[in-house]
Chains A and B, each alone.
Chain A
Amino acid sequence: DQQVKQNSPSLSVQEGRISILNCDYTNSMFDYFLWYKKYPAEGPTFLISISSIKDKNEDGRFTVFLNKSAKHLSLHIVPSQPGDSAVYFCAASEVTGANNLFFGTGTRLTVIP
């Protein structure tokens, strides 16, 4: 049973526009959330994270929003660049510092020049 869900397998965005990737979760015990980016033939790369005590975290062009009541988080990329084209995975853990990360199935982002 998938506890972290990314319902959009793919997303295409024009260069310079905003990319919004969504993630939903079912486990109310999750309290730490991460986004990873993955290029073909490489391992996932940590991008940004957020603790459940916050509702927003920014790092340059990347912002993650958390809505705990809706069990929903989103990753905003502004402005989108062709180099952002990759598969993005959402992940969650039950307790900060826990060993088991639960991953979504990924969303393939294509940024069109």
Chain B
Amino acid sequence: DAGITQSPRHKVTETGTPVTLRCHQTENHRYMYWYRQDPGHGLRLIHYSYGVKDTDKGEVSDGYSVSRSKTEDFLLTLESATSSQTSVYFCAISEPSRTDTQYFGPGTRLTVL
């Protein structure tokens, strides 16, 4: 298994509060991703990073920001959480030579009340 951890694993928060999810890898992979999984949609890409301080938007980036100050950490921030952001969030990593084969963390279940 790829060395990927996510924290917290579960979080309940209220609408309008900021939330930060953390992804940590021990594989030294250059590429990291944040997805959300919702019923009826599968997994959808939020943001990804192709190096320290290098990030780009995915399919559903509105309302989310990311930061990557170290190779091993990729943070996802919801500046002001909304109920529509209730979801399961997955972090993934990949090697530059094979960015289409991604390896996923265990997920964070976020509930916004």
Taken together as a complex, chains A and B put the C-alpha atoms of A98 and B58 apart, in Å, by 12
Residue A99 interfacial (CB < 8 Å): yes
Residues of B within 8 A of A6 (CB): 42
In contact, A100 and B42 (Cβ under 8 angstroms): no
With A43-B104, A43-B106, A44-B104 as known contacts, state yes or no: A97 contacts B45, CB within 8 Å: no
Residue from B43, B90, B105 with most neighbouring chain A CB atoms (10 Å): B43
In contact, B42 and A97 (Cβ under 8 angstroms): no
Residue A59 interfacial (CB < 8 Å): no
Interface secondary structure of A, over-half rule: loop
Q: Interface size (B, Cβ < 8 Å)? A: 28
| B27-43 contact mask (Cβ, 8 Å, vs A): 1 or 0 | 00001010000011111
Residue positions of A touching B, CB distance < 8 A? 2, 4, 6, 32, 34, 36, 41-46, 49, 89, 91, 93, 96-101, 103-106
